[in-house]
Amino acid sequence: MDFTFTEEQQAATEAARAVFSGVAPDAVPSPALVPGAVAEDIDRALWTGLATGDLLSLTLEPEHGGAGLDLVALCLVLRESAKVLARVPLLETCAVAMALQRYGDRGLAAELLPRIGRGDLILTVGANGRTGHDPAELAVTARPDGASDSDSDSDSAGTRWVLDGVQSGVPWAQAADWIAVPAHTGDGRAVLALVRRDDDGVTIADQVSTNGELFGEVGLSAVRIEARRLIDAADAWEWLRSVLTTGTCALALGLGEAVLAMTSQYTGKREQFGFPVATFQAVAVQAADRYIDLRAMEVTLWQAAWRIAVGGRGDLPPAGDVAVAKIWASDGVRRVVQTAQHLHGGFGADTDYPLHRFHAWAKQIELSLGPAAAHEEALGDLLAAHRLD
């Protein structure tokens, strides 16, 4: 079997490295030194650079001005973005665009996707629900306009929909033009609504994430949208959530690789008793353990991304591979940054040194879309429901 990346995927990686080469991880104030958000907006210059480098259109079909690549290519780019703590909604925008392309109204896709690829539109998604502990689709109700909350009649293609509820912790909601909102209908179906930030009834309250970024609590009060802005395919939200989770694993891998490289450089220069501390057995063993973590994170990431990309059948659905990848990503990235802090000693806590910022981002990534324990439970449910021969 050939596990090498295709020429197109390798080209995407090289293009991403070129765009991210000028990004400094500490270009904004430290989250440890400011009481609120580190900045009021995303990195607009970087967003323009991503559009110019055709990285925002990477997974769009050629008919929409894209390269037609798959989730594996997107994860390669996300991996590079995390190495510099890129402050852009690359994952959210591309994931929602992919869902719209796969499941959405063709006319709406033709209107929005080319603009997304050019960087003219920013998308995000509410994937945390009201509290972050319950399924996100349960936090918002969707009902046909004029119907009661329990009415699930959605047969009419011209029916307008009414949305009510709250999605908390929406990444960079204030900067987004469109927000994908998972919701549930009266008969319990999960749907995906595309809401404009300036729609009547949409409110956004500021929230600050663990890594100091400006997130939002998106409130929906009788928000009315046309039918084509509601994606009601049976697996649309599950598919989008899997893409988001897998992309988060790619971010964890890139961040972990950057931190381990930073630790290697530091311990190779820091001397005790006349020798670099990297030559001490206790230090080398800890670094080796973290290297093994990263390789496990990598192989489970590509397995999950490949299963989603090819849609192949197996003993378990792709959700099983996604759960395994997120378990390794959450636990692995935490162990990597903890070891890095330990091996750096007091220097790792110096706010003039970027390691503490990587630690904050690692904690944000670890908990995003569920910590390891949540995915262990989900994996257990899948194993119980699917007999493995």
Could you report the per-residue pLDDT of 27-37, keeping only the tens digit for each? 999 999 999 99
Q: pTM for this one?
A: 0.95
Q: Which amino acid is at 297?
A: M
Residue 256 and residue 263: Cα distance in Å, rounded? Answer: 10
At 154, the pLDDT band (50, 70, 90 cuts) reads very low
At 278, the pLDDT band (50, 70, 90 cuts) reads confident
At 156, the pLDDT band (50, 70, 90 cuts) reads very low
pLDDT at residue 90 greater than cutoff 60: yes
Residue 331 and residue 328: Cα distance in Å, rounded? Answer: 5
Average pLDDT, the chain: 94
pLDDT for the residue 313: 72
pLDDT for the residue 1: 56
Residue 352 and residue 334: Cα distance in Å, rounded? Answer: 22
Residue 56 and residue 49: Cα distance in Å, rounded? Answer: 10
At 277, the pLDDT band (50, 70, 90 cuts) reads confident
pLDDT for the residue 172: 97
pLDDT at residue 380 greater than cutoff 80: yes
Radius of gyration of the chain (CA): 21
Mean pLDDT to the nearest integer, 51-56: 98
Bridge-based pairing of strands 214-225 and 202-208 is antiparallel
Residue 183 and residue 159: Cα distance in Å, rounded? Answer: 16
Token couple for 22: 């000028």
Q: Which H, E and C letters describe the chain, residue by residue?
A: CCCCCCHHHHHHHHHHHHHHCCCCCCCCCCCCCCCCCCCCCCCHHHHHHHHHCCCCCCCCCHHHCCCCCCHHHHHHHHHHHHCCCCCCCHHHHHHHHHHHHHHCCHHHHHHHHHHHHCCCCCEEECCCCCCCCCCHHHHEEEEECCCCCCCCCCCCCCCCEEEEEEEEEEECHHHCCEEEEEEECCCCCEEEEEEECCCCCEEEEEEECCCCCEEEEEEEEEEEECHHHEECCCCHHHHHHHHHHHHHHHHHHHHHHHHHHHHHHHHHHCEECCEEHHHCHHHHHHHHHHHHHHHHHHHHHHHHHHHHHHCCCCCCCHHHHHHHHHHHHHHHHHHHHHHHHHHHHHHHHCCCCCHHHHHHHHHHHHHCCCCHHHHHHHHHHHHHHCCCC
Token couple for 353: 């040194």
